[in-house]
Amino acid sequence: MEGPWVEKYRPQTLDEVVGQEHIVKRLKKYTNEQSMPNLMFSGPAGVGKTTTALALAKSVLGEYWKNNFLELNASDARGIDTVRNQIKNFCKLKPMGAPFRIIFLDEVDNMTKDAQHALRREMEMYTKTSSFILSCNYPSKIIDPIQSRCAIFRFAPIKKEDITTRLEYICNEENFGYTDEGISTIVYFTEGDMRKSVNILQSAATEGEEVTEDAVYDVISKSKPQDINNMVTAALSGDFMKARDLLRETMILQGTSGEDMVVQIYQDVTKRATEGRMDSNVYINLVEYIAETDFRIREGANPRIQLEALLAKFL
Amino acid sequence: MQWTDKYRPQSFKDIIGNNKQKALIEKWVNEWKEGNPQKTLLLVGPPGIGKTTFALVIAHEFGEYVELNASDKRSYDLLMETIGESTTTQSLFSNKSKLIILDEVDGITGNQDKGGTRALNKIIQNTKHPIIMMANDFYSKRLATIKTKCQVIKLPKIRSPTINVNLKRICKAEEIEADPEALKQLAKRSNGDMRSAINTLQALSEESKTLNMEDLENVTQKTDRSTIINATSRVLKSKNITHIRDDMIIDEDPTLLMEYIAENIPREYENPKEIKKAYENISKADLYFGRTQSSRNYGYWRYATLFMGLGVALSKRETYKKFSKIVSPQSFSKMGKYRGKRNLRDNIADKMVENMHVSREIAYSMFPYFEIMFQDDKTAYEISSFLELEDDEIKRFRKKKIPKKFIDKMEKERAQRMQERQAEWAEEYKKDLNLNNSDEITDNYFEEDSNELDSIDSFSDEDIDEILQENLDITDSINEDKSESIIDEASESKVDESSDLKDSNIEEDNKEDSDSKKEKSVQTSLFSFE
């Protein structure tokens, strides 16, 4: 069955992986080896960390890769108990039909420090039978002992040409027409994020016969919650209670993360300033607050409280 | 100087109230003095009723004493070292007994005081010296073993007339003009706690040298602990550092208190500048809670508490003279209100997590695109069948159901495609089978296998391991062939009648995931051997 294009066109082999040639080149060396060091893939969203990990597992583990591969992502419970039980039990078993086993932990930076410390033990206990692939957005959130046990690969945002080529390839496979402007608008907007690019492409494709610039802009504006705009307007006009309610509704109902909210507020304010609807001095002041909020959220504060405080700055 | 110290009774006859208990304690002291060792004395009762006073008076009688309280670490080693020694030895130069005072023994707890209770038991048993212990909670687990070895004296709360008398005495000594009615109220409100009554009196009247009913309005009734509502309203209504500090001592998670304060800031404060400033303090408090979590340094809490308490309180220019009800954090009730919608959202996200190698967060971020894609019948059908979405989950992304006709059409097309593919696969398998002639191998293998199992008893463990391993390897290869032949049979029999959708689904699984099928069979064989 065919899923959304992001899944349907997920590269299955290392050779297919797009835009990370230098990393793929080094990873290929582990094929046909009897062991592999622990790896850490760091980098922003949508640049191929998970895809590369899956492709690597397939090529290294061979036919029975599914039996020797354990994937745990941020939504699975990954407290100390998981590390102590599930991961340990998996590591203990002998690999079947493959030289070793691979544990892929996605978004390790969302694991608690305690769980990371528990993980560190497992990483050195079972080096003979198992290798770990960890992925994260910010290596700084990973405790040093784990970083020092891994070969770290930094995934850069995917180059514009590479995304363009991939999007064109998908359009051809799907028999969809496109204009160069349409594709380049997507590429410009997504800043090296392949997942977002493919999602916008598919959304634009369902809108009409052809992926055009207009269709893409339409998708981009539709896919942004209107609530953000209303929220910023309410805060700027002094109605703090309304702004705060809208914020909570968006975060609780849509599940939008704090980081995304910050970016969207930033984009909204920037749009107002560039269109001349906001004074530049006000704008630069607000950006300072937004930046500080962004920083505080990443430092581990409660995103909703921080965003409420940010809205208060708009008054 | 604290009045509680200044007016602390110095001898038994100064102590007012508790006559029965006083007599028992005096007797205990006298017995010791006459050289008759007594059981350890355990004074139990709520705070502020004179346990420490009693202990100090007794200490006065004995002259020499050692004291350890909750601020000292009280692990086994430490207790044995500091007290254990002195309990079993006597001073060379005097016959006098040395008194040992242990305050707050029910507070011996946690890692730092490891083995503390054990040490206490040991000390009590071997002592040659008088020991007094104090505790608040008679029923504390930590006292369970200790109290059987002690003479327990329970001290009740002090009656308010007794407190009143004492307050009057202090007022006289301090030359304070106090309204008798106010003193009576103060005594009553202190809830049997002499220390708190005296402290409040000092706080209210030390400067002014007067006490009247209005002064009392600034003091909330001393309950055991302030409530979260109380603390919130204090922060928003007051600018007084001590009142805020005292009321913020509550038995709740401090981050919950922060939510309460944040919720009510815009309900109390009207000036936008005040809201801005107050929320900046909330933000800082929250930041330090975050840092507490990541560093496990709970010392940061003190800053967080100050920011969200005093910081918020001082953000207002003047206190508002209005009544505003304290509202519980709305984001929590919103979460409840939207539970249904959130569950729906999470169920969809979980299906994406399972099928698309993404986390929930990333799944949510794809929802807006799904909302657009789902407007198209075909895409909506494809994605929802890929993720196995239910009708209500599809409705999350599009208002109308996918038209029944369209679904039927798509499913017919799919069945058609499937049949074609099945025919191709069947053809391939036949070729493979003819080449391998695998049926024979399978039969032979199972005969051999049963023979080996019969004789297995005579092998050592290692041998068995080896054999099992060998068998495994063989079954791997055999089962592959077997599973292929099973699929082959299944597909052949169903090729003609696969208009039924369910069957075609199963077959599709057989076909498309023949890889995973192989793996499954390997797995089953493994388990059967284990």
What pLDDT digit, counting tens, does each position of B446-479 carry? 444 444 444 444 455 555 555 555 555 554 544 4
- The DSSP secondary-structure symbol of A241 reads H
- The average pLDDT across B404-410 equals 86
Q: Are A201 and A167 in contact (CB under 8 A)?
A: yes
Whether residue B386 and residue A4 make contact (CB cut-off 8 A), yes or no, is yes
Q: Which of A17, A28, A98 is nearest to A65 (CA)?
A: A98
What does the pLDDT read at residue B219? 64
Q: Which of B367, B252, B275, B292 is nearest to A302 (CA)?
A: B292
% pLDDT > 90, chain A: 54
Whether residue B356 and residue A4 make contact (CB cut-off 8 A), yes or no, is yes
Gap between the terminal Cα atoms of chain B: 77
SS3 B314: coil
What does the pLDDT read at residue B470? 54
CA-CA-CA-CA torsion sign (A234, A266, A138, A66): positive
Q: pLDDT band at B76, cuts 50/70/90?
A: low
User: Is A255 within a domain?
Assistant: yes
Q: pLDDT band at B294, cuts 50/70/90?
A: confident
Residue B80 in contact with partner chain A when CB distance is under 8 A: no
Do A164 and A147 lie in one domain? The reply is: no
The mean of the pLDDT values for chain A is 89
Which chain B residue lies closest to A46 (C-alpha atoms)?
B362
Does residue B16 register a pLDDT over 80?
A: no
Whether residue A238 and residue B272 make contact (CB cut-off 8 A), yes or no, is yes
Whether residue B368 and residue A260 make contact (CB cut-off 8 A), yes or no, is no
Torsion, CA B512, CA B514, CA B517, CA B518, rounded to 10: -160
User: Is A13 within a domain?
Assistant: no
Do A83 and A144 lie in one domain? The reply is: yes
Q: pLDDT band at B229, cuts 50/70/90?
A: confident
What does the pLDDT read at residue B71? 52
Give the closest of A219, A255, A312 to B276, CB-based: A312
User: Is A246 within a domain?
Assistant: yes
Do A125 and A30 lie in one domain? The reply is: yes
Scanning the structure block, which residue is given the tokens 């789902």?
Answer: B374
User: Is A72 within a domain?
Assistant: yes
Q: pLDDT band at B486, cuts 50/70/90?
A: very low
Predicted structure pTM score: 0.58
Whether residue B522 and residue A67 make contact (CB cut-off 8 A), yes or no, is yes
Task: Count Cβ atoms within 10 A of the Cβ of residue B53 and give its class: 0-12 exposed, 13-18 middle, 19 or more buried.
Answer: middle
Do A33 and A140 lie in one domain? The reply is: yes
Q: Are B202 and B168 in contact (CB under 8 A)?
A: no
What does the pLDDT read at residue B488? 47
Whether residue A225 and residue B334 make contact (CB cut-off 8 A), yes or no, is no
Give the closest of B291, B369, B373 to A300, CB-based: B291
Range from A33-42, B111-120, B212-221, B311-320 carrying the lowest mean pLDDT: B111-120
- The average pLDDT across A70-90 equals 76
Whole-number Å distance between alpha carbons of A203 and A200: 5
What does the pLDDT read at residue A223? 79
Whether residue B385 and residue A304 make contact (CB cut-off 8 A), yes or no, is no
Q: CA of B293: how far to CAs of A116, A308, B255, B297, B300, in Å?
A: 14, 21, 12, 7, 9
Whole-number Å distance between alpha carbons of A238 and A251: 21
Q: Which of A98, A112, A15 is nearest to A61 (CA)?
A: A98
What does the pLDDT read at residue A224? 75
Whole-number Å distance between alpha carbons of B64 and B80: 19
User: Is A11 within a domain?
Assistant: no
**Interface mutation target, options B277, B359, B374, B475, chain A, most CBs of A under 10 Å:** B359
Contacts of B260 in chain A (CB under 8 A): none
- The average pLDDT across B294-301 equals 86
Please list the residues that pair with B456 across neighbouring strands.
none
Do A45 and A135 lie in one domain? The reply is: yes
Do A191 and A307 lie in one domain? The reply is: no
> Within B175-271, where are the H helices?
180-189, 194-205, 213-217, 228-237, 241-247, 254-268
Which chain A residue lies closest to B365 (C-alpha atoms)?
A256
What does the pLDDT read at residue B224? 46
Angle, helices B360-373 vs B339-356, to 10°: value is 100
- The DSSP secondary-structure symbol of B110 reads T
What does the pLDDT read at residue B83? 64
User: Is A31 within a domain?
Assistant: yes
Contacts of A302 in chain B (CB under 8 A): 255, 286, 289-290
- The DSSP secondary-structure symbol of A135 reads E
Instruction: Indicate the number of domains in chain A.
Output: 3
Please list the residues that pair with B131 across neighbouring strands.
B100
SS3 B41: strand
Task: State the nearest Cα–Cα gap between A67 and chain B, in angstroms.
Answer: 7
Q: Are A226 and A254 in contact (CB under 8 A)?
A: no
- The average pLDDT across B332-359 equals 88
SS3 B169: helix
What does the pLDDT read at residue B131? 85
Q: Which of A210, A216, A207 is nearest to A171 (CA)?
A: A210
Residue B492: φ, ψ to 5°: -60, -45
What pLDDT digit, counting tens, does each position of B160-200 carry? 888 888 889 898 888 888 888 888 888 887 777 888 888 88
Torsion, CA A250, CA A254, CA A258, CA A261, rounded to 10: -60
- The average pLDDT across A76-103 equals 80
Do A296 and A309 lie in one domain? The reply is: yes
Domain of residue A192 covers 160-220
What does the pLDDT read at residue A128? 80
Q: pLDDT band at A75, cuts 50/70/90?
A: low
The domain spanning residue A38 has which CATH number? 3.40.50.300
Whole-number Å distance between alpha carbons of B241 and B258: 17
The domain spanning residue A295 has which CATH number? 1.20.272.10
Number of helices and strands (H, E) in chain B?
27, 7
Contact partners, residue B442, CB within 8 Å, separation at least 6: B478, B481, B482
Q: pLDDT band at A160, cuts 50/70/90?
A: very high
Torsion, CA B388, CA B393, CA B399, CA B402, rounded to 10: 20
What pLDDT digit, counting tens, does each position of B371-394 carry? 999 998 888 998 998 999 988 899
Do A169 and A255 lie in one domain? The reply is: no
Number of neighbours of residue B521 by Cβ within 10 angstroms: 19
Residue B493 in contact with partner chain A when CB distance is under 8 A: no
**Ordered DSSP codes for B411-466:** HHHHHHHHHHHHHHHHHHHHHHHHHH-HHHHHHHHHHHHHHHHHGGGGS-HHHHHH
Contacts of B342 in chain A (CB under 8 A): 252-253, 255
- The average pLDDT across A286-294 equals 95
Residue B137 in contact with partner chain A when CB distance is under 8 A: no
The one-letter amino acid at B362: I
User: Is A5 within a domain?
Assistant: no
Whole-number Å distance between alpha carbons of B397 and B380: 9
Q: pLDDT band at B70, cuts 50/70/90?
A: low
What does the pLDDT read at residue A227? 84
- Residue with the bigger pLDDT between A281 and B517: it is A281
What does the pLDDT read at residue A52? 95
Whole-number Å distance between alpha carbons of B432 and B145: 78
Q: How many CA atoms lie within 13 A of A5 on its CB side?
A: 27
Task: State the nearest Cα–Cα gap between B313 and chain A, in angstroms.
Answer: 16
Does residue A247 register a pLDDT over 90?
A: yes
% pLDDT > 90, chain B: 14
The mean of the pLDDT values for chain B is 76
The domain spanning residue A210 has which CATH number? 1.10.8.60
Q: Output the six-digit token pair for A195.
A: 């997942």
Which of B 251-310 lie inside 8 A of A, CB atoms?
255, 258-259, 262, 266, 272-273, 275-276, 278-280, 282-283, 286-287, 289-291, 293-294, 296
Scanning the structure block, which residue is given the tokens 């599809």?
Answer: B394
**Interface mutation target, options A108, A142, A203, A299, chain B, most CBs of B under 10 Å:** A203
Contacts of A291 in chain B (CB under 8 A): none
Do A128 and A198 lie in one domain? The reply is: no
Give the residue from A131, A154, A177 where a domain finishes: A154
Do A74 and A108 lie in one domain? The reply is: yes
- The average pLDDT across A102-129 equals 84
Whether residue B331 and residue A248 make contact (CB cut-off 8 A), yes or no, is yes
Do A149 and A240 lie in one domain? The reply is: no
What does the pLDDT read at residue B472? 55
Do A148 and A230 lie in one domain? The reply is: no
- Residue with the bigger pLDDT between A151 and B188: it is A151
Give the residue from A154, A187, A205 where a domain finishes: A154
What does the pLDDT read at residue B483? 47
User: Is A276 within a domain?
Assistant: yes
Whole-number Å distance between alpha carbons of B83 and A197: 72
Q: In residues, how long is chain A? A: 315
Give the closest of B258, B364, B372 to A207, CB-based: B372
Residue B382 in contact with partner chain A when CB distance is under 8 A: yes
Whether residue B522 and residue A45 make contact (CB cut-off 8 A), yes or no, is no
Give the residue from A107, A127, A154 where a domain finishes: A154
- The average pLDDT across B486-507 equals 47
Whole-number Å distance between alpha carbons of B415 and B508: 9
What does the pLDDT read at residue B498? 44
